Amino acid sequence: MNWLWQIFDPATISAFFTQFQAEMQQPAFWVALGKIMWINILLSGDNALVIAMACRGLPPRQRFWGMVLGAGVAVFLRIIFTGIVVTLMGLPFLKLVGGLALLVIAAKLLVPEHEGEGDVDAAAHLWAAVQIVAIADIVMSLDNVIAVAAAANGSIPLLVIGLAISVPLIVAGAALIMALLTRLPALVWAGAGLLGWIAGEVMATDPAVQPSLHAFFNGPVGVGLDGFLKSLGMAPQFANGGHGGEVVLGILGIIVVLVAGSIWRKRKLEGAEHSAKAA
């Protein structure tokens, strides 16, 4: 439990704000923050609906507090769990496993769900609603945790700020967000592609994968690709420790997600159609 006490240690809190002030001066911080918020919006629709369903049985005066308290507890627990995952991502092969899991999560995002899946009972009183929201969020948020940890790339301030901003927005605008994603399916496909890109980058930076990837692109393949880029007037990206390998795996991640998600989606729709005809 020492790690939990360290979170509330004044020195840890001071280091957090120092790191935050340094990172927010860099454009990459704001790009990554946008990624985290977009990932949360895409993957937290079910969580927002759980909050609404759990609080629907409360008296009108308690519904607001049920949503606020439930979301607050959920945000706190999710920050802790995602922080643990961010720390573990530094170990060999864990980024590789997390990237593969993220590919599945991204592909599943394109698969339609049957109505009635994940229904939650309404709570009779305030603290019961808070408990339902918090527990359901923990159970349902494994995909969010993996995706956000990958996008944060080891930055705890980025992780905390991204979750703290995006989750309340999801709760407040759940209906609007769901309507927007329903009206503009292209946003879901774009989000799935973004997750595929992040998954590829995560796998490329795994301590067990990165040396082999750099060694491969430092050879004839990387030299040839850099020569092609130079002919187009672009800077070399592959040989001599360049980041071109991460870009290649990111593009492959997008392709895998869109192709696998399309096949998965097609089979799910065909299965639903056969079930409807049988009924």
Q: Whole-model pTM?
A: 0.66
pLDDT digits (tens, 9 = 90+) for 57-105: 677 777 777 777 777 777 777 777 777 776 776 778 878 888 888 888 7
First to last CA, the chain: 53
**pLDDT value of residue 257:** 93
Q: Which two tokens stand for residue 205?
A: 């930076």
Mean pLDDT of the chain: 75
**pLDDT value of residue 160:** 76
In a domain, 200, yes or no: no
Q: Which two tokens stand for residue 149?
A: 């940890």
Residue 171 has pLDDT above 70, yes or no: no
Which residue has better confidence, 220 or 177?
A: 220
**Inter-residue contact 221 to 244 (CB < 8 Å):** no
Least confident of 144-148, 202-206, 234-238: 144-148
Angular region, 111: left φ>0, alpha ψ -120 to 50, beta rest: beta
**Inter-residue contact 253 to 104 (CB < 8 Å):** no
In a domain, 98, yes or no: yes
Backbone angles phi, psi at 14, to 5 degrees: -65, -40
pLDDT band at 254 (very low <50, low <70, confident <90, very high): very high
Which residue has better confidence, 191 or 154?
A: 191
pLDDT band at 109 (very low <50, low <70, confident <90, very high): confident
Residue 19 has pLDDT above 50, yes or no: yes
Q: Total domain count for the chain? A: 1
In a domain, 63, yes or no: yes
In a domain, 18, yes or no: yes
In a domain, 255, yes or no: no
Residue 234 has pLDDT above 90, yes or no: no
In a domain, 168, yes or no: yes
- Averaged pLDDT, 159-166: 72
**pLDDT value of residue 118:** 46
**Which range of residues forms the domain containing residue 35?**
2-184
Q: Which two tokens stand for residue 17?
A: 């704000």
**Inter-residue contact 189 to 235 (CB < 8 Å):** no
In a domain, 247, yes or no: no
**Inter-residue contact 245 to 204 (CB < 8 Å):** yes
DSSP category for residue 26 = S
Which residue has better confidence, 203 or 75?
A: 203
In a domain, 226, yes or no: no
Q: Which two tokens stand for residue 93?
A: 């092969």
